[in-house]
Copies of this chain bind each other. A is one copy, B any other.
Amino acid sequence: NGMAKNITPRAQDFSQWYLDVIRVAGLADYAPVRGCMVVRPTGYSIWEVIQKHFDEGFKETGHVNAYFPLLIPHSFLEKEAQHVEGFAPECAVVTHAGGEELEEPLVVRPTSETVIGHMYSKWVQSWRDLPLLINQWCSVMRWEKRPRLFLRTSEFLWQEGHTAHATRDEAMEETLTMLEVYRRIMVEELALPVVAGEKSEGERFPGADNTFTCEAMMSDKKALQAGTSHFLGQNFAKAFEIAFQDQDGQVQFAWTTSWGVSTRLIGALIMTHADDDGLVLPPHVAPVKVALLPISTDEERLASDLEPKARELVTALEARLGRRSVALDTQYHMRPGDRFFSHLQKGVPLRLELGEREWQEGRVRAVRRDTGEKIDLPWDRLAEEVPAILEQIQQNLYQRALEFRLAHTHDVSSFDQFRSTLEEKGGFLRGYFAGTREDEKAIKEATGATVRCFPLEDQSTGTCFYTGKPGARRALFAKAY
């Protein structure tokens, strides 16, 4: 097919394939400022569905949204030593405003722990003011020398949750609760079979006592960090004086957490589910779940029969699937094959064709995006069958990705085996590990692989493949985005 040729085959050049999928689906574009991104309407509509799922997950667990300012005094970053070390080099700095030079330079937020810590110190006085459970949806800026759409751009869209608690235990519970909200939504809605786990010391958020992560395997077998939840201890509470009087009248510092997911998830969806024909979207995150195409060379027939029937079916389907979830394709100036392709490339889960023959027989022909399977569906069964087929597609995409991850996860028990497995097979390497931060660094320099996490579901211990120490926890290593 002519239109497929505008996508480089994945096996030939994965990076180019990724960019081609984004381009032909119209998901994003580079902005005039180097490293920045425009999220185009098709890409943004996916982000809106992703937002809806996560926002509901946050609100169900008692969180509320707010908005904190874009600009942060540079001095705020400096109040937490590791934080400034991690973020200052990546900051964009405002030095002039309103026609004057500023007394103190302001950074465009790279993340908001500092300014939110400052506000929390004003809002929290007593134990009755806790917990504070606040999230914000916004963009952040981290200057990128080697940008890559959705994965690494100087500006990206995300949410950042920031909570403050009276006790260590409660803050740790919150950290893990939000990790689980992330894991569940990634699995159930984005069909990403992520592994939830704890980060190693070398991979922690700057300023955190502990970082937890959801790690996904992309279809080139590399890992992608899909979301993180940080236990910040009292580091930011002390730096910004978030203190409260407890029930006994004693003044204590609060315990804080932060957690975030970003438009990077769209990159994860592409690199997990897409194929050589373009995007493939799990129905739960597809803004358009079904495309319905009246097809005929007879214009009168289209106008008098096929299109009116199609509109009727759209209405019936949308009553089940939600408003604007079914696209009626009236691109009659295009050849049927090109019309099919425009939906394939955008990842629409199900295509329904209503041609002359289908019209005669009172049915449509359904074509699944994930498998290409064709199914004949009578009109009167459509509203019932289509949701069921969409659910099958959702499950199939998840299952396929899970099997891929399992097939490309390899156990290692020595560093020699680690190196050879990584070189020959790639994927996730699973082994007991008790190395130091320096050991992590040495492994990364020698192989390019990093500790992705210590999976929470695997509490077994054994001999460290790198140091030989006993009682080591199970870790996953991989090359990562």
Contacts and interface: CB of A to CB of B under 8 A. Distances in A.
Interface stretch (A85-93, A177-185, A198-206): A85-93
B31 A69 contact: yes
Given A70-B139, A94-B108, A64 B41 contact: yes
A108 B70 contact: yes
Contact of A45 (B33, B65, B89, B157): B65
Contacts of A106: 33, 92
A115 interface: yes
Contact of A72 (B29, B33, B94): B33
Given A66-B39, A98-B143, A71 B92 contact: yes
A398 B287 CA distance: 36
Interface residues of A, number: 56
Nearest to A128: B333
Given A91-B97, A98-B143, A157 B65 contact: no
A134 interface: yes
Copies of this polypeptide in the complex: 2
Given A91-B97, A98-B89, A38 B65 contact: no
A188 to B, nearest CB: 19
| A contact face: mostly helix, strand, loop, or mixed | mixed
Nearest to A97: B92
A93 B97 contact: yes
B97 A94 contact: no
A41 B66 contact: yes
Contacts of A425: none
11 contacts: A31-B119, A36-B69, A41-B64, A41-B66, A43-B66, A44-B66, A67-B139, A71-B92, A91-B97, A95-B95, A108-B108
Contacts of A242: none
Nearest to A88: B99
A344 to B, nearest CB: 20
A40 interface: yes
A260 B99 CA distance: 25
Nearest to A92: B97
A118 interface: yes
A317 to B, nearest CB: 18
B69 A38 contact: yes
Contact of A96 (B93, B115, B144): B93
Contacts of A66: 38-41, 43-44
Nearest to A31: B69
The 8 A-B pairs with the shortest beta carbon distances in the complex, nearest first, are: A98-B143, A41-B64, A92-B97, A31-B69, A39-B67, A36-B69, A93-B96, A97-B143
Interface in A311-335: 324
